[in-house]
């Protein structure tokens, strides 16, 4: 049995500024009452820690930056012979994804003004064991690069003479932006918005969609996912008909919709659609059904509304949910299961540089400044930006996951329990939520910055416990850049005796080996404190056991030798 919610966006004014307001209408409200007693242990008054299931090993990794603040993530350090754990919560596990971009631009040789630029996305799975999917994505990446780079070069060719004469339009652009709607161990679903400004009356954008079976890498068709294609088509038509006056459809739009679903694929292609944790959404690009001013159209059919219309293996049903909430955006949520909805939002008093010292959480007519929670264990600041998620757990409680970004793009995750007449600070840590990935309370990705043999972001998979705190069974953090062209690479400057093992074997199962100066390493994983793994050029795995620095040192040692003296260069960020 799952909780469904419907979103309605309107605009309102608050304190002289525009605030977006969104309504969340939950069905089966009795569920929240049923879980109100919950079996989760009551959270202690003292700041709890974001939970991991093995013994605590992580200490402060940025001592100079954090002073006496308490580290709130406990590290799972696998002992020798212990395998890396996999997060298992009974739900499809999150699939860690990354979007990298290739950027090129043409400039005026005299003024250096940008004539045209192109930004082409490249989608990567940043987890081992997905060879078939990775191959499919690589094919998509190459096709997308060829298409957008071809369009870029055509614009240069068409405008070169005008630019040379100093009369051509400048600041032209082609950009591809990726949004994942679902990314788990079963399905990868996303769309790409291509935004073009190539002169003319207005910019132009259009959408492409992709859906993959994660295990096989197979491109999923809509007919693979829906159980009755004809009925699905009729339901889409019915929903479009309800909104025809709003969108101002062309008179013959029903014929176009029919052709999209049943027409010649060479002419009309496949329907544009994505799968999410809630259902299926079908898209129609600008100009397909209505004029430019109407924009694109989208129709959503949820698992709750149409349980028999979508094949069971692609459905997700959960009593938990998470929705994004932006700064100055208002949501209406029933916090205590009484059928009445409370207003929730957050705001910040920003200076001329967009900086704010704290966040103000507005809940049911009351305001709570995060400055009131600040102490030696909690930074509580806002920084230059803030984004958040409202999270509902099975016990009916609602949590605000609030991420702020400060100096040096440092991310800080703060968690609050929202109640009808109170807000309670739960915990905080230097963690980041990937805005490109779907946030599913049953399995999601958090990242953290480390300065261990270099500076980099690494991630673990988490799920939300009933006390609102993220928990993981992952023993090591996976370094994101390992799967990109900007890997964390090291070259030894001295002979080093290290433990080396074969790939896909347990930690500690290798043998000590002296690796000569000039050995090349690519970092793979870390425990966040004193251990890291790297891959050698021959594919074997090398283990680094680090010694903590003394009070007089800023970096640790390997086999008694300072880290900087072990390698030709260690890529720390400033």
Res 192: pLDDT: 97
Residues 6 or more apart whose CB falls under 8 angstroms from that of 290 comprise: 247, 248, 249, 250, 253, 297
**What backbone torsions phi and psi does residue 237 show, to the nearest 5 degrees?**
-60, -40
List strands edge to edge, sheet with 5-14: 5-14, 17-26, 329-333, 342-347, 360-363, 366-369
Dihedral sign, CA of 244, 247, 249, 255?
negative
State the average pLDDT for the chain: 84
Has residue 570 got a pLDDT over 90? yes
Sequence-separated (6 or more) residues with CB below 8 Å from residue 275: 181, 182, 187, 189, 211, 220, 225, 314
pLDDT of residue 551: 82
- Per-residue pLDDT tens digits for 415-431: 999 999 999 999 999 99
287's tokens: 């100009």
Residue percentage of the chain with pLDDT more than 90:
72
* Structural contact between residues 270 and 238, judged by C-beta atoms closer than 8 angstroms: no
Under DSSP, the state recorded for 492 is B
From 16-30, 183-197, 427-441, 499-513, the region with the lowest mean pLDDT: 16-30
pLDDT in tens, 290-340: 999 999 999 999 999 999 999 999 998 888 999 999 999 999 999 998 999
Of the ranges 11-25, 106-120, 250-264, 506-520, which one carries the lowest mean pLDDT score? 11-25
Q: Is the pLDDT of residue 38 over 60?
A: no
pLDDT in tens, 527-542: 999 999 999 999 999 9
In sequence order, what are the residues at sequence separation of 6 or more whose Cβ sits closer than 8 angstroms to the Cβ of residue 459?
96, 126, 434, 445, 446, 447, 448, 477, 478, 480
Q: Is the pLDDT of residue 391 over 60?
A: yes
The average pLDDT across 118-133 equals 96
Answer with the residue of higher pLDDT: 235 or 372: 235
pLDDT at 41: 32
- Looking at residue 555, its pLDDT comes to 86
What local confidence, expressed as pLDDT, does residue 552 receive?
82
Q: Is the pLDDT of residue 117 over 50?
A: yes
For 17-38, what is the mean pLDDT? Answer: 34
| pLDDT of 200 higher than 60 | yes
* pLDDT value of residue 479: 96
pLDDT at 156: 96
Q: What is the pLDDT of residue 308?
A: 94
Mapped onto helix, strand or coil, the DSSP state of residue 261 is helix
347: exposed, middle or buried (Cβ count in 10 Å: 0-12, 13-18, 19+): buried
Give Cβ neighbours of residue 314 (< 8 Å, ≥ 6 apart): 186, 187, 225, 275
Q: Domains of the chain by range and CATH?
A: 5-89+320-475 (no CATH), 97-314 (3.30.565.40), 482-566 (2.30.30)
Cα angle value 162/164/165 (rounded, 5°):
65
pLDDT at position 199, please? 86
Higher pLDDT, 77 or 570: 570
pLDDT tier for residue 380 given thresholds of 50, 70 and 90: low
State the Cα–Cα distance between residues 319 and 35, nearest whole angstrom.
10
* CA–CA gap between residue 7 and residue 330 (Å, rounded): 12
CA–CA separation, 463 and 441 (whole Å): 5
Task: Measure the CA dihedral 3/6/7/10, to 10°.
Answer: -140
> What's this model's pTM, rounded to 2 decimal places?
0.81
Q: Give CA–CA dist 49/541, Å, rounded.
A: 32
Percent of the chain residues topping a pLDDT of 70? 83
Mean predicted confidence (pLDDT) in 98-110: 94
Under the banding of pLDDT at 50, 70 and 90, the label for residue 450 is: very high
Closest CA to 459 of 427, 482, 428: 482
d(CA 159, CA 272): 33
Report the alpha-carbon distance of residue 187 to residue 74 in Å, rounded: 31
Poorest-pLDDT segment among 65-69, 120-124, 471-475: 65-69
For position 382, what pLDDT does the model report? 80
pLDDT over 80 at 492, yes or no: yes
The H-assigned helical ranges of 191-324 are 222-225, 229-242, 244-247, 253-262, 265-268
Spatial CA neighbour of 285 closest among 268, 270, 269, 297:
297
For the cut 70, the answer to whether the pLDDT of residue 84 exceeds it is: no
User: What is the C-alpha separation between 409 and 411, in angstroms, rounded?
Assistant: 6
pLDDT digits (tens, 9 = 90+) for 203-223: 999 999 999 999 999 999 999
268 alpha-carbon distance from chain centroid: 32
CA atoms 371, 377, 378, 383: torsion sign: positive
Longest dimension (CA), the chain: 78
Q: Which residues make Cβ contacts (< 8 Å) with residue 51, sequence separation at least 6? A: 74, 465, 469, 470, 471, 472
Kindly state the DSSP code that residue 199 receives in the 8-state scheme: S
Give the integer Cα–Cα distance in Å for 114 and 361.
42
């Amino acid at each position: 049995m799952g909780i469904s919610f419907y979103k309605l966006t309107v605009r309102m004014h608050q304190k002289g500024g525009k605030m977006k307001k969104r309504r969340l209408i939950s069905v089966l409200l009795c569920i929240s009452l049923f879980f109100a007693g919950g079996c989760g242990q009551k959270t202690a008054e003292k700041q709890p820690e974001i939970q991991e299931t093995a013994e605590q090993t992580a200490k402060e990794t940025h001592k100079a930056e954090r002073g006496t603040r308490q580290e709130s993530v406990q590290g799972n350090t696998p002992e020798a012979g212990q395998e890396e754990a996999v997060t298992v919560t009974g739900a499809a596990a999150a699939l860690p994804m990354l979007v990298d971009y290739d950027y090129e631009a043409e400039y005026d040789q005299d003024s250096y003004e940008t004539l045209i630029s192109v930004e082409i996305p490249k989608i990567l799975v940043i987890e081992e064991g997905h060879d078939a999917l990775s191959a499919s994505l690589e094919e998509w990446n190459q096709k997308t690069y060829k298409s957008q780079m071809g369009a870029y070069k055509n614009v240069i060719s068409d405008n070169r003479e005008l630019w040379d004469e100093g009369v051509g339009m400048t600041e032209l652009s082609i950009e591809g932006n990726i949004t994942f709607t679902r990314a788990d161990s079963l399905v990868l679903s996303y769309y790409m918005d291509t935004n073009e400004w190539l002169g003319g009356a207005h910019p132009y954008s259009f959408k492409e969609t992709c859906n993959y079976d994660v295990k096989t890498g197979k491109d999923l068709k809509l007919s693979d996912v829906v159980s009755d294609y004809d009925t699905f088509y009729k339901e889409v038509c019915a929903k479009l008909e309800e909104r025809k006056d709003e969108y101002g459809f062309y008179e013959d739009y029903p014929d176009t919709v029919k052709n999209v679903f049943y027409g010649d694929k060479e002419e009309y292609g496949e329907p544009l659609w994505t799968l999410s944790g809630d259902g299926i959404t079908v898209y129609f690009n600008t100009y397909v059904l209505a004029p430019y001013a109407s924009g694109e159209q989208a129709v959503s059919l949820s698992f709750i509304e149409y349980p028999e219309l979508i094949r069971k293996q692609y459905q997700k049903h959960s009593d938990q949910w998470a929705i994004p909430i932006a700064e100055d955006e208002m949501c209406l949520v029933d916090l205590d299961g009484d059928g009445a909805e409370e207003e929730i939002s957050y705001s910040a008093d920003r200076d001329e540089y967009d900086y704010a010292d704290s966040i103000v959480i507005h809940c049911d007519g009351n305001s709570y400044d995060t400055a009131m929670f600040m102490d030696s264990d909690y930074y509580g600041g806002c920084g230059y930006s803030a984004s958040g998620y409202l999270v509902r757990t099975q016990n009916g409680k609602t949590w605000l996951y609030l991420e702020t970004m400060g100096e040096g793009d440092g991310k800080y995750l703060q968690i609050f329990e929202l109640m009808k007449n109170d807000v309670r600070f739960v915990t905080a840590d230097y963690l980041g939520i990937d805005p490109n990935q779907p946030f599913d309370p049953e399995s999601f990705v958090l990242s953290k910055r480390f300065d261990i043999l270099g500076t980099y972001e690494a991630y673990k998979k988490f799920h939300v416990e009933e006390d609102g705190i993220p928990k993981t069974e992952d023993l090591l953090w996976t370094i994101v850049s390992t799967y990109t062209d900007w890997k964390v690479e090291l070259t030894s400057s001295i002979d080093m005796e290290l433990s080396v093992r074969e790939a896909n074997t347990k930690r500690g199962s290798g043998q000590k080996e002296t690796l000569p100066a000039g050995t090349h390493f690519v970092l793979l994983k870390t425990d966040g404190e004193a251990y890291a793994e790297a891959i050698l050029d021959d594919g074997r795995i090398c283990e680094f056991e680090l010694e903590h620095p003394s009070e007089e040192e800023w970096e640790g040692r390997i086999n008694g030798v300072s880290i900087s003296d072990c390698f030709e260069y260690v890529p720390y960020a400033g």
